[in-house]
Structure 1
């Protein structure tokens, strides 16, 4: 089943992917595991694109297939379960000047599969919107996505805006994009960067456990104490 799903994504066979994904979920496959299979298929699409066997339209199609899998009833039901089971909140968006959303959507799906409450601001998101989002939703983590080289400046401006608003100290800022480097992450002023959504999810889970090490129950209300 695993290879069939991966191959169907690689071949951009949307109907087959959806059918196989539905069957896998009905048979008890975990959403996170399924998303990893879809991601592997998309990685193969990416390699075919790099080898000039696929075109930009094929990359877009792969992203659309991923979104269709996220919409499946059993997938949505498990991703958007009881808020009391959420382990943390993340605010994400593709930064100003970039309209790409595939990487962001993959990260969102994987974070939701790992019981994070995700607020998605969309694409071409300015620094002001990120500031307002942090003020309104008080997330533990802010994810800045961008696939174009010049988005590094937008990322930097966003982090600076959060600093100026006094919102930076108690949140993790993670960057996502294939063009990112350690030096770029340091320049932006972020805490972490990744070129792989699944690696980013693992880091966020590790960080959130550190942040919320102390949990006390008072009158049925969970008190989360930050250790960052």
Structure 2
């Protein structure tokens, strides 16, 4: 039996935006947004990546699928139960020269579901530009995303700079890199490595977000 993520992946690869969005909204009648992000949308993109690695699809196919996935993420039904008052703020972006961004968009939606005010700045953001937004927004959490190991020096530079911010935000490091490599050296009371959406949701479930203001 074909799994939901495979069905969605082939809709992405067919370039069928309307059918892909319809399929996701139908699933929303049965499952939570959290389930869709963790068990359907994210695995669908991993599945597409595997097809590309196996030379079963072309780069153009992969780019088309990414564009359709982006459309679906931007068009999903709003969560009507979202809280009106924000207790915390998060700012998220992909490091300089990092082009992957769909995972970060899903993380942004996850923060919003938890009642956070979120600024998602997209991929490939230089340090000086991120600092401008960070100083204005003063987020409680700064989320950094990277997929490839040679972004590690950039991640380290960003962490060291953000540690000097006077209000002491929590720095989260995520992306495919965080699931494939041991990044324990970066972790501290100010830096957390997020190894996938289940890890982030566990952090929310444990209520650890509630202690941010107490420690900053």
Q: CA separation in 1, counterparts of 2:80 and 2:151?
A: 30
Per the alignment, in what secondary structure is the counterpart of residue 89 of structure 2?
A: strand
Instruction: Mark the runs of 5 or more structure 1 residues left unpaired by the alignment.
Output: 214-223
Q: CA offsets, 1:124-148, max 9 Å, x none?
A: 2122233333322222211111123
Q: CA separation in 1, counterparts of 2:112 and 2:144?
A: 17
Alpha-carbon distance change, 144 to 102 in structure 1, aligned in 2, over 3 angstroms: same
Alpha-carbon distance change, 83 to 172 in structure 1, aligned in 2, over 3 angstroms: same
Q: Determine whether 1:89 maps to 2:89.
A: yes
Q: CA offsets, 1:68-110, max 9 Å, x none?
A: 22233xx3421794432x5632111011122322222232233
Aligned residues: 207
Per the alignment, in what secondary structure is the counterpart of residue 112 of structure 1?
A: helix
Q: Determine whether 1:58 maps to 2:61.
A: yes
Instruction: Mark the runs of 5 or more structure 2 residues left unpaired by the alignment.
Output: none
1:18 aligned residue: 21
| Superposition deviation, residue 116 in structure 1 | 3.0
Which aligned pairs between 1:60-209 and structure 2 lie closer than 5 A?
60-72=63-75, 75-78=76-79, 81-84=82-85, 86=86, 88-167=88-167, 169=168, 171-180=169-178, 181-182=181-182, 184=183, 186-187=185-186, 191-196=191-196, 198-206=197-205, 209=207
Q: CA offsets, 1:35-58, max 9 Å, x none?
A: 232222222222222323233333
More strand by share: 1
Q: CA separation in 1, counterparts of 2:91 and 2:80?
A: 16
Alpha-carbon distance change, 133 to 66 in structure 1, aligned in 2, over 3 angstroms: same
Matched-pair contact (CA < 8 Å) for 1:185–1:191 = no
TM (norm. structure 1) is: 0.74
2:35 aligned residue: 33
Per the alignment, in what secondary structure is the counterpart of residue 83 of structure 1?
A: coil
Deviates further, 145-154 or 28-37: 28-37
Matched-pair contact (CA < 8 Å) for 1:8–1:16 = no
Matched-pair contact (CA < 8 Å) for 1:9–1:62 = no
Q: CA separation in 2, counterparts of 1:120 and 1:22?
A: 23
CA RMSD, Structure 1 to Structure 2 (Å): 3.0
Q: CA separation in 1, counterparts of 2:100 and 2:133?
A: 20
TM (norm. structure 2) is: 0.77
